[in-house]
Amino acid sequence: MTPRPLHRVLALLALLTATALALPAARAHGILVPTDRTLPPLGLQSHRVEIAVNDGIALVTIDQVWKNSTDRPLEATYFFPVPRGAVVSGFELEVNGKMQKGEMLEREKAARIYQDIVNRLRDPGLVEWMDKDLFQVRIFPVPARGTQKLRLKYVQAAEVIGGNFRIVYPLRTSNQSLQTLEDFTLTAKLRGAIPVRTVYSPSHRVSITNRDGTTTVGFEDDRVLLDKDFVLYFGMSNEDVGITTLTHKKGSDSGFFLLTAAPRASLESKEIQGKAITFVLDTSGSMTGEKMEQARAALKYCIERLGSDDRFDIVRFASDVERFSSSGMVAASDSNKKRALEFVDGFEAAGGTAIDEALTAALARAEAGSLVLFVTDGRPTVGEVDTTAILKQAEKRNVNKARLFVMGVGEDLNTHLMDLLGSTHGGTSHYVRPGEDVKVAISALYEQIAFPILSDVQLTIDGVKVYAQLPQRIPDLFRGQQLIVTGRYRGAGKAKVRLEGRLGKETRRFEVTVDFPEEQKEQDFIATVWAHRQVGYLLDQIRLNGETRELREEVIQLAKQYGIVTPYTSWLVVDDSELTAPPRPRPPEPRPPWPHPPWGPRPIRPPWQEGDAGGGASPTTTTPQASPRDLERKADERERIVRDTAAAGQGRAEAFRDDRGKAGLDAAEAVKILKEKSDDAPEVQAVKRIGGRVFRWSGTEGWVDQAADASQKRVRITAFSAEWTALASRGADVRQALALGDRIQIRIGDTVYVITP
């Protein structure tokens, strides 16, 4: 098949999306409703989705297993709201050896069925089915205590937004059917005549791999809350580094942007100039035992993977400092690597921790633009021990601007020192908690920085006024990683986005022209991502440099507006089932209670309460060993301190200023997670941003639109009444709000509509 040129692909997609896909996607994974009107919808046991995208055209294949939990066979009807612009291309369902046929319903007939289902189930989550085509099939029998499998396929064009492609797979159907009984798996395979460069999901934490011209995106977990659509953006480019930009701007307010940049996945090692790297390893007495064994193994792993054009050195330190090479960095020849492995085999854990002397040894002889991988498990105890003095000395010695990547092992660390060393010298800081594998952590960090693409990266945007850009200092770009930059903008129009950096001795520049619109109501998740990163930046300034009134007030203002957990804000913690009208049944296999942040007491939650199925997007490509489920579980653990909320009462701001012990480590990771947040999942259930509106939960009033004013006219409407249905017909943004539950206050124009049961 001859590849289609990009301009023809874009023209085709523009034609398809102009009439249909510009509308919001339906929220629906389908629903299986028994004919017996006394029974609720059947439970969704497993839900598996494969999305194959070729030049922007998506073939979606859905495999579902539904569970009949009653003691008798059931007759039921399967309904699937078909997304606008999609065409059902296949349906497979076998009952008693016979294939069942489904049918597409005309809009008027579908509307009548929709109204009947809503009235019967009294489920506001179904309001978003309005104005959608329905696919239905009658099923009999669904075996007693048995399951029913089905497969449905449809074809849909990816939406084109500002040069990006967007795929939306609708998940939420109703407030009564929010969770799979077992697993949910989604795999998207992206291909095109022009290679896929950037991939970003604001809705779910995904794994991303690239192989043989195909980009594979995966999400997998057990007993998933199906409470939000799966959204995926991707960009295509023939450049070695692809750049895409998304925007959000409402009314006269300043806009938000989110820029992603990623190198060509097929860059071979031989195309990337060799690096210079110094390995610095703490061998003090506290590293005795398994930690020392794992650290030695990790260092040997790194040495064995050095390329033939790399240069390296090793610094061992305890109470003293010892170099591998007396003459500076050496070539990574086979003979030098063999000597280095023998040098590492001789490491023994003994003595104190001379961090200042080790940094001096590593930085003083570092080559221009080289990398330093610094591993320690303790605070400075030998020589200079003052944090400020150590930082000043490191800055003075690092004349060649080496990038410093710090790995802290255990909890007996000065996290302020670790974080400042990494951020000041263009690197990062990472931590290995007690019980975690040191070898895995060090090896993974090395793989992330093993192939530098661009260093001394500069981002310039000409044509609009950009401010509050995060991160303020653009990090180096490595193979397999993706850069994410967020910020605010004023003005509107075409702007030139330029990413410039150094590859070896050569300067490389990549440019794209981007439209920064006067108004872009969609993609409001960008505002949420920026707000979290801004709060993380502000908290880092407070944690490391001290609190000021201006910093504290900005943190509080953003935290309240976007529902962010901070040391300065307290939130009411409520069970998800309290936030919707129909109560959720108690799940049969409870998870343990959520851990809590260092700046607030543990909230009291029902022991059967499930964790949030929301996640985040992965800003980087994961290693092949990390399955989507492993990625999800690992990230759940590492984000434990920001998914929970503080209980009612004053936040304990002093807790996150600790620089050592478990509290210091928790605070360092909490701030880092905020600074790197790339999804729109809130940490508190009591605040939701929907369709550009902010709703806050009140125990007495339900969900309250924060734009509502006490002086505005109130109109009371009973949920599921004719007036309620008429209100829902006023737009997709209104339906999204009404789907929250049957107790809502929503402002439309100068009127506040009060929805009551």
User: Where is pLDDT greater, at 156 or 372?
Assistant: 372
pLDDT at 425: 92
The answer to whether the bond into 587 is cis (omega within 30° of 0) is: no
pLDDT at 5: 42
Q: Are 365 and 451 in contact (CB under 8 A)?
A: no
Tokens of 517: 């619109």
Measured N-to-C along each axis, helices 415-424 and 661-675 cross at an angle, to the nearest 10 degrees, of: 30
Give the closest residue to 246 by CA, choosing from 487, 459, 458, 541. Answer: 487
Any idea which of 140-149, 312-321, 632-641 has the lowest mean pLDDT? 632-641
The amino acid sitting at 337 is: K
d(CA 581, CA 743): 8
Instruction: Please write the tens of the pLDDT for every residue from 55-81.
Output: 888 899 999 999 999 999 998 888 887
Q: Which helix (H) or strand (E) holds 130?
A: none
Whether pLDDT at 129 is above 60: no
Neighbours of 628 (CB within 10 A): 23
Mean pLDDT of 8-25: 33
pLDDT at 318: 93
Please provide the distance, in angstroms rounded to a whole number, between the alpha carbons at the two ends of the chain.
57
pLDDT at 209: 86
SS3 content of the chain, % helix, strand, coil (to 5): 25, 35, 40
The residues that bridge with 510 in the sheet, in sequence order, are 499
Phi, psi angles (nearest 5°) of residue 302: -65, -45
Q: pTM to 2 decimals?
A: 0.72
Q: What is the largest CA-CA distance in the chain?
A: 84
Whether pLDDT at 736 is above 50: yes
Average predicted confidence (pLDDT) for the chain: 77
DSSP string, 33-95: EESSTTSPPPEEEEEEEEEEEETTEEEEEEEEEEE--SSS-EEEEEEEEEPTT-EEEEEE-EE
Choose from 64-73, 562-571, 702-711 the range with maximum mean pLDDT: 64-73
Any idea which of 17-21, 82-86, 425-429 has the lowest mean pLDDT? 17-21
The residues that bridge with 236 in the sheet, in sequence order, are 196
* Strand ranges for 226-323 from DSSP E: 230-236, 241-248, 255-263, 276-282, 311-317, 321-323
Q: Which helix (H) or strand (E) holds 540?
A: helix 525-545
Any idea which of 176-190, 400-414, 496-510 has the lowest mean pLDDT? 176-190
Whether pLDDT at 246 is above 70: yes
Chain centroid to CA 178: 21
User: Where is pLDDT greater, at 242 or 716?
Assistant: 716
d(CA 250, CA 333): 58
Give the closest residue to 114 by CA, choosing from 723, 140, 106. Answer: 106
Neighbours of 243 (CB within 10 A): 24
Q: Which helix (H) or strand (E) holds 415?
A: helix 415-424
d(CA 564, CA 486): 17
Chain centroid to CA 328: 41
SS3 state at 571: coil
User: Where is pLDDT greater, at 492 or 575?
Assistant: 492
CB-based contacts of 575, cutoff 8 Å, min separation 6: 605, 606, 609
Give the closest residue to 179 by CA, choosing from 216, 224, 221, 113. Answer: 224
Mean pLDDT of 707-718: 89
Instruction: Please write the tens of the pLDDT for every residue from 333-370.
Output: 999 999 999 999 999 999 999 999 999 999 988 888 89
pLDDT at 638: 46
| Cα dist from 23 to 19, 84, 155, 685, 731, whole Å | 8, 8, 17, 27, 10
Tokens of 270: 């031989």
The full length of the chain comes to: 757
Degrees (nearest 5) of the Cα angle 465, 470, 474?
Answer: 100
